[in-house]
Amino acid sequence: MLPKQRRTGLFSATQTNRLEDLMRAGLRNPVRVVISEQVDSHSPTRGPPGGLRTPAALQNFYAIVDPEVKFSTLIRFLLAHSNDKILCFLATCACVDYFARLVRKFLPKNRAKSVYALHRKLRKKRTAIFNAFRNQSAGVLICTDVMARGVDIPQVSWVLQCDPPTSANAFVHRCGRTARCGAEGRALLFLAPNEVAYVNFLEINQKVQLTELLPKELDEMCAPALDGHLTPDAVTSRFRTLCKHDRYFYSLQ
* CATH number, domain with residue 120: 3.40.50.300
Within a domain: residue 4? no
| 80 within a domain of the structure (yes/no) | yes
Contact by Cβ (8 Å): 199, 191: yes
The Cα–Cα gap between 222 and 224 comes to 6
Task: Give residues with Cβ within 8 angstroms of 46, minimum separation 6.
Answer: 39, 53, 207
Does residue 10 fall inside a structural domain? no
Please tell me the pTM assigned to this model.
0.82
How many domains is the chain built from? 1
**Is 23 part of a structural domain of the chain?**
no
On whether residue 15 sits in a domain, the answer given is no
> Across residues 100-113, what is the average pLDDT?
95
> Is there a domain that residue 52 lies in?
no
* Domain membership flag for residue 233: no
Task: Give the model's pLDDT for residue 23.
Answer: 78
Which of 250, 223, 211 has the alpha carbon at shortest distance from 72?
Answer: 223
Q: What is the pLDDT of residue 44?
A: 46
Range of the domain at 98: 58-223
Question: Is residue 182's pLDDT more than 80?
Answer: no
With respect to residue 232, please indicate whether it lies within any of the assigned structural domains. no
